[in-house]
Amino acid sequence: MNTLFIVGTGPGSMAYLSPAAREAITQSRHLVGYQLYLDLLGELAIGKEHHAKALGEEIDRAHLALDIAAREPGATALISSGDAGIYAMASVVFELLDKEARPEWQSVTVNVIPSPTAMQLVAAHAGAPLGHDFCTISLSDLLTPWETIEARIHAAGQGDFIVALYNPVSQKRDWQLNTAKDILLQYLPAETPVLLGRQMTRPEEQVRTLTLATLSAADVDMLTLVIIGNRESRAFQHGGRHHVYTPRGYARKLESHT
């Protein structure tokens, strides 16, 4: 059987590589991915054929993985950081299968192997900010028109969703985050808790708590993930640490226990 595993390796540390992801990589003879992602696999990648493509070559990377999987018996792994299905390689592969549908690809069984994404690590570090309905929005307009992104930000604010912002800024793009903040301030209190999680699981890891009113693109870079609470989200201190959580609506039940 020819199998293509699309493997999410988590936010960076091998401590968060799931057993299923580890097993898929172990089974695979060929590894396809951005070179840094392959290097981060360490000993798991030893003895395997490496096929690296640069950043920005996601379509070529997906093509290559499907072609290798089609001609090579056994398993091939397409390596993605974070969760492979969230702003990552899985959607590219399935779009190719849908739009191109090459005959040789029909023999390939495609399995997506999930792992934690940065949003979950930032949330866990702070407490439970994703305790109620939430959404993720990428602020990168390289592939999505800004008008569409802006409409989604308005919808998130109107719906009182907790919002995780991926790709908040880059070296060439720094105005979108401040614009998103201004939009959400139309719907949320100025004191709404905001989390900035940078370089999660790495030595430079840092999580900061601030408010929506004080959020600024100057404090964020391309390695940062932003989580903005909803109208119910709360920030407090416990044991010398800052925590953020979003209630699920247990207030009445909690009152009955006091």
Per-residue pLDDT, averaged over 148-166, amounts to: 98
Residue 100 has which token pair? Answer: 């191109």
pLDDT for 251 equals: 60
Nearest alpha-carbon partner for 120 in 58, 168, 162: 162
The model's pTM: 0.90
Are 228 and 135 spatial neighbours (Cβ–Cβ below 8 Å)? Answer: no
Domain ranges of the chain: 2-116, 119-248
In which element (H, E) is residue 198 found? strand 193-198
Domains 2-116 and 119-248 share a fold: no
d(CA 193, CA 227): 8
pLDDT of residue 135: 98
Q: No. of H helices and E strands in the chain?
A: 8, 13
253: pLDDT confidence band, cut at 50, 70 and 90? low
Tokens of 74: 């056994």
CATH class of this structure's domain 2-116: alpha beta
Rounded to an integer, the average pLDDT of 221-239 is 95
Q: Say yes or no to pLDDT of 149 above 90.
A: yes
- CA distances in angstroms from 8 to 1, 45, 113, 194, 239, listed in the order given: 22, 15, 6, 26, 34
For residue 3, which phi and psi values (nearest 5 degrees)?
A: -125, 135
For domain 119-248, the CATH architecture is: 2-Layer Sandwich (3.30)
Rounded to an integer, the average pLDDT of 131-158 is 96
For residue 132, pLDDT beyond 80: yes
